[in-house]
Amino acid sequence: MRARPPAGSRTELMNKRGGPHPTMDQVAEAAGVSRATVSRVINGAPSVDAKIREVVQRAIAATGYVPNVAARSLVTRRSNSVALVISEPDRPDNHSFLNRIFTDPYFGRITAGATGALRPHDIHLVVIPTDSSDHHQVVRYLRQGHVDGVLLISSHEQDTLPRQVVELGIPAVVSARPTSPIPVSFVDVDQRLGARLAAEHLLERGRRRLATISGPLDIPSGLERLDGFRAALAFADVPSIEGDFTRAGGEAAARRLLAEHPDVDGLFVANDLMAEGALRAMQDLGRRIPEDVAVVGFDDSSAALDCRPLLTTIRQPVEEMAAEMAEVLLAHIAAPGRLPRSVTFQPALVIRDST
């Protein structure tokens, strides 16, 4: 390896003065290695000695060299980007699915968890909200090679996007067990177990007139949480009102539930946002929490801490789940053709003041 030019050499001084953009040849000169070695370091080739890699990286920092991403992508055929596609159903009664995506803590936690896992690999996350009306645009974007893989948040039973993404042949990981059998990796939480924990906790608190505000029943998580809650109870005909996973929806569902079943003393709400709305409605109607009605939510999101009293809830480790999705996706990108993998996280009861 050639000796590195001393500090203050023409190469270093020119770049510090803000002259012409530094080139790969100048990085090679500063590091005392060949241009090919610099190229291998920039492209992440594993064959480069660790000490040489460190010298080259210091030379890149000293010269201010910025790799040509477009040229690099032609060589590696990688974009160093991953799409986080959030697919929501078309609902005529939705004010705006974009409003829900950017205000629901769940989606923020997904984004944070995935970003945290991808950042050390210098991979950028591209967030793409969509509903079925513009699936064709999303598929076209993915087909054009703008991203190396897809993290797909698909929430409704009739969503065709997971199958379309699989048929593209692009590496993908889905946020929940697909409702139809398709060869794709997924990461999920044991939804039924979480709802069972909620039911058991309410029973342990001495509540016997239990009810639930479910999520939308065309969404697998909404249906599974309802099934898990009912299955945990020895008695039949548990009152249930279908909600929409929004704060306003939870408030409206709670008012209807108490009008139809005023003797309810224990309530499981299928997510924290709806539980926050339900608490507001019950308090407006003169119900004391938890003295008159004990309430359990689901998610353990920031909404649980916004509630008064603080909300007992079922924790699903969303950030960890999103990070696992990203790690599984990176493995698929590195080794195309590997078999799909499934990962199921365990929920946990978090007891606070609402029970």
Q: Are residues 131 and 142 in the same domain?
A: yes
- Phi, psi torsion values for 348, nearest 5 degrees: -145, 145
Local structure of residue 339 (DSSP, 8 states): P
Q: Are residues 92 and 172 in the same domain?
A: yes
CATH number for the domain that contains residue 33: 1.10.260.40
Give the span between the Cα atoms of 213 and 251, in whole angstroms: 10
- Whether the CB-CB separation of 84 and 128 falls below 8 Å is answered with yes
Structure tokens at 291: 């003295």
Q: Are residues 183 and 195 in the same domain?
A: no
Range with the lowest mean pLDDT among 215-224, 231-240, 267-276? 231-240
Residue 6 has pLDDT above 50, yes or no: no
Q: Which residue type occupies 59?
A: A
Q: Are residues 309 and 339 in the same domain?
A: no
Q: 33 lies in a domain?
A: yes
Residue 5 has pLDDT above 50, yes or no: no
Q: 4 lies in a domain?
A: no
Q: 350 lies in a domain?
A: no
Closest CA to 350 of 298, 303, 307, 302: 298
Q: 37 lies in a domain?
A: yes
Range with the lowest mean pLDDT among 29-33, 178-182, 314-318? 178-182
Q: 329 lies in a domain?
A: yes
Q: What is the pLDDT of residues 121-172, one digit of tens each?
A: 889 999 998 877 788 899 999 988 889 999 999 877 778 899 999 999 999 9
pLDDT of the residue at 282 = 97
- Whether the CB-CB separation of 103 and 50 falls below 8 Å is answered with no
pLDDT of the residue at 47 = 76
Q: 352 lies in a domain?
A: no
Q: Are residues 252 and 153 in the same domain?
A: no
Residues in the chain: 355
Range of the domain at 34: 10-76
Give the span between the Cα atoms of 238 and 230, in whole angstroms: 7
Q: What is the pLDDT of residues 242-286, one digit of tens each?
A: 999 999 999 999 999 999 999 999 999 999 999 999 999 999 999
pLDDT band at 97 (very low <50, low <70, confident <90, very high): low
Look at the chain and report how many structural domains it folds into. 3
pLDDT of the residue at 135 = 86
Q: Are residues 247 and 223 in the same domain?
A: yes
Give the span between the Cα atoms of 1 and 52, in whole angstroms: 9
* pTM for the model: 0.76
CATH number for the domain that contains residue 223: 3.40.50.2300
Residue ending a domain, among 56, 76, 96, is 76
Q: Are residues 218 and 302 in the same domain?
A: yes
Q: What is the pLDDT of residues 174-199, one digit of tens each?
A: 998 887 789 999 999 999 999 999 99
Q: Are residues 183 and 327 in the same domain?
A: yes
Residue ending a domain, among 57, 76, 95, is 76
Give the span between the Cα atoms of 170 and 164, in whole angstroms: 10
